[in-house]
């Protein structure tokens, strides 16, 4: 049936000429002209010498850095919790004025309250060394002006004047909004 095909299609099915014979490229070891082929074992002493003389310092990846910083922060916090109370000496702190055992903290004050109001209300319980409203340090423009933050510190001259006193609701009502 293929004999009825035109010659151009018959040429597609024609066999190709045979491949040219080439002698094998591998020769017997005694006939080779290249260097002897050996394994990697011959290079191990040289690799060991390089390893001994190399000053390689690995760099820290971002994940290792993140873990290191987290661990350092945890260690600093544990050290602060352990050593902080031992080194805390409020008597030697120059920023602290007055005695903490003589100080009364008053919160939720009206923004209309003043230092004189505090002294007059809390002066009934004993002599006051100092009464100070905690005020804003920096006023932002276009904001509603508040005279203070709404809490104060009242320092009595004697600790017994501050201890054991209960503020009557009348005093609290007059100072609180």
List, for residues 2-30, the tens digit of each pLDDT value.
778 898 988 888 888 999 988 877 777 77
Please report, for the chain, the start and end positions of each structural domain, with discontinuous segments joined by +: 100-175
Q: What are phi and psi of 176, to 5 degrees?
A: -90, 145
Q: Is the pLDDT of residue 174 over 80?
A: no
List, for residues 106-136, the tens digit of each pLDDT value.
889 888 888 888 888 888 888 998 888 887 6
Q: What are phi and psi of 130, to 5 degrees?
A: -160, 140
Q: Is the pLDDT of residue 86 over 90?
A: no
| The pLDDT of residue 76 | 96
Is the model more confident about 52 or about 33?
Answer: 52
| The pLDDT of residue 139 | 61
| The pLDDT of residue 59 | 93
| Pairwise CA distance, residues 51 & 47, whole Å | 6
Q: Is the pLDDT of residue 72 over 90?
A: yes
Is the model more confident about 69 or about 55?
Answer: 69
Residue 46's pLDDT band (boundaries 50, 70, 90)?
A: very high
103 and 154 Cβ atoms separated by less than 8 Å = yes
List, for residues 139-163, the tens digit of each pLDDT value.
666 666 667 788 898 888 888 877 7
CATH class of 100-175: alpha beta
105 and 111 Cβ atoms separated by less than 8 Å = no
Report the percentage of the chain scoring pLDDT > 90: 20
118 and 152 Cβ atoms separated by less than 8 Å = yes
| The pLDDT of residue 56 | 85
Q: What are phi and psi of 68, to 5 degrees?
A: -65, -45
SS (H, E, C) 14-80: CCCCCCCCCCCCCCCHHHCCCCCCCCHHHHHHHHHHHHHHCCCCCCCCHHHHHHHHHHHHHHHHHHH
Report the percentage of the chain scoring pLDDT > 70: 85
Q: How far is CA 51 from CA 4, 56, 124, in A?
A: 76, 9, 84
Is the model more confident about 25 or about 1?
Answer: 25
Q: Is the pLDDT of residue 73 over 80?
A: yes
* DSSP structure class, residue 100: G
147 and 177 Cβ atoms separated by less than 8 Å = no
| Pairwise CA distance, residues 175 & 107, whole Å | 10
């Amino acid at each position: 049936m293929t004999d009825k095909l035109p010659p151009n299609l018959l040429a597609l099915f024609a066999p190709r000429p045979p491949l040219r014979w080439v002698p094998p490229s591998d020769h017997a070891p005694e006939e080779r002209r290249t260097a002897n082929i050996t394994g990697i074992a011959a290079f191990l002493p040289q690799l060991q010498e390089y390893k001994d003389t190399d000053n390689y310092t690995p760099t820290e990846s971002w994940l290792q850095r993140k873990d290191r910083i987290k661990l350092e922060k945890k260690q600093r916090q544990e050290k602060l919790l352990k050593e902080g109370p031992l080194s805390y000496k409020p008597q030697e702190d120059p920023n602290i004025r007055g005695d903490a055992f003589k100080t009364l903290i008053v919160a939720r004050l009206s923004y209309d309250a003043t230092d004189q109001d505090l002294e007059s209300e809390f002066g009934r319980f004993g002599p006051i060394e100092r009464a100070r409203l905690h005020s804003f340090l920096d006023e932002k423009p276009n904001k509603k002006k508040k005279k203070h933050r709404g809490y104060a510190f009242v320092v009595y001259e004697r600790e017994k004047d501050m201890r054991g006193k209960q503020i009557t609701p009348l005093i609290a009502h007059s100072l609180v909004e």
